[in-house]
């Protein structure tokens, strides 16, 4: 698991506990669990779509169209995941708002 052993995981857990506090950890865990569940559901949907496309025997022209469709689908999935993550994990909404404000300031300055 990325070269992380039990001691490293315990240290990471303690840092998270100190950073977020014991009161917010259940909410964070719930949000992450829901996000992971949504990611798995989307992954199943995508793999189901690819499997049905292979079964129908696409031609070369429709294969290139499916690549552009796949690109749009990936963007859509990323947007959905971002929205779900913002909903379920505390603190991310504020961080996104700060990032958006910083981007607006960069556009104004440059």
- Cα-only R_g, the chain: 20
Digit-coded pLDDT (tens) for 28-51 = 888 888 888 888 888 888 777 665
102 found inside a domain: yes
Domain ranges, residue 43: 24-109
Helices (H), 1-110: 6-20, 25-56, 60-88, 92-109
Tell me the pLDDT tens digit for each residue of 47-83: 776 655 555 554 445 555 556 777 777 788 888 877 7
Asked if 84 contacts 34 with a C-beta cutoff of 8 angstroms, the reply is yes
Question: What is the reported pTM?
Answer: 0.38
11-20, 36-45, 86-95: least confidently modelled range: 86-95
Judge whether 5 lies within some domain.
Answer: no
Domain assignment present for residue 19? The answer is no
Is position 16 within any domain?
A: no
CA 52 to chain centre: 25
Q: How many CB atoms lie within 10 A of CB 31?
A: 19
44 is a domain residue: yes
């Amino acid at each position: 698991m990325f070269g992380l052993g039990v001691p490293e995981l315990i240290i990471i857990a303690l840092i998270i506990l100190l950073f977020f506090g014991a009161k917010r950890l259940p909410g964070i865990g719930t949000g992450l669990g829901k996000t992971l569940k949504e990611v798995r559901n989307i992954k199943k949907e995508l793999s189901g779509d690819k499997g049905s496309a292979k079964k129908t025997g696409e031609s070369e022209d429709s294969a290139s169209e499916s690549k552009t469709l796949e690109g749009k689908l990936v963007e859509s999935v990323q947007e959905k995941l971002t929205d779900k993550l913002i909903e379920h994990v505390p603190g991310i909404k504020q961080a996104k708002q700060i990032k958006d404000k910083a981007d607006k300031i960069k556009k104004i300055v440059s």
